[in-house]
Amino acid sequence: MTDHTTTEVTEESEEELAVEAALESRHGHPSDMTYVGIAFGLAVLTAIEVGLYYLKASTETALTLLVLMAIKFSIVVGFFMHLRFDSPVLRRLFVLGIVLAVTIYVIILLMFGILHF
């Protein structure tokens, strides 16, 4: 009987802790309206990208498109995926993966003569 009561109390306190953890994880995260603002910004950036596509194709246009792509990528990863607010361990893990992937594939494309410096 005592064991049963102790288990129930432990489960309840764990539940409370988990709810606190869920609320705590909201701490510092953007509000709903901020998310809407971020999505609006992403939509505007996409519209600019499409507008640039219809301009004369040039190296400058391609570079601008790549910069806009990187900005959109960073916004989604930083705000929607909460990497800006989460543990630095996750940030390091993801950035390391991205840098490694980009480096490897740029080297391969250089080897095949697709990219030139």
Partner 1 sequence: MAEIAAHPPAHHADTHHQTSTGISNEKLAMWAFLGSECMLFGALISTYILYRHKAVSGPTPHSLYDIPFTSVSSFVLLMSSLSMALAVAAIQRGDQRRLRVWLSTTALLGSIFIGGQIYEFTSFIRRGMTIKTNVTSGAFFVLTGFHGVHVTLGIIMLLSLVSLSIRGKIPQSKAEIIEIAGLYWHFVDIVWIIIFTVVYLIP
| Count of residues near partner 1 by CB under 8 A | 59
Q: Does 5 bind partner 1 (CB under 8 A)?
A: no
Q: Does 48 bind partner 1 (CB under 8 A)?
A: no
Select from 84, 105, 110, 116 the one that contacts partner 1 (CB under 8 A): 105
Nearer to partner 1 by C-beta: 32 or 117? 32
Give dist(CA 16, CA 39) in Å, integer.
33
Q: Does 116 bind partner 1 (CB under 8 A)?
A: no
CB-CB contact of 83 with 77 (8 Å): yes
SS3 for the chain, per residue?
CHHHHHHHHHHHHHHHHHHHHHHHHHCCCCCHHHHHHHHHHHHHHHHHHHHHHCCCCCHHHHHHHHHHHHHHHHHHHHHHCCCCCCCHHHHHHHHHHHHHHHHHHHHHHHHCCCCCC
Give me the residues that bind partner 1 (CB under 8 A), please: 3, 7, 11, 14-15, 17-19, 21-23, 25-26, 29, 31-32, 35-36, 38-39, 42-43, 46, 49-50, 52-53, 57, 62, 65-66, 68-69, 72-73, 76-77, 79-82, 86-87, 89-90, 93-94, 96-98, 100-102, 104-105, 108-109, 112, 114
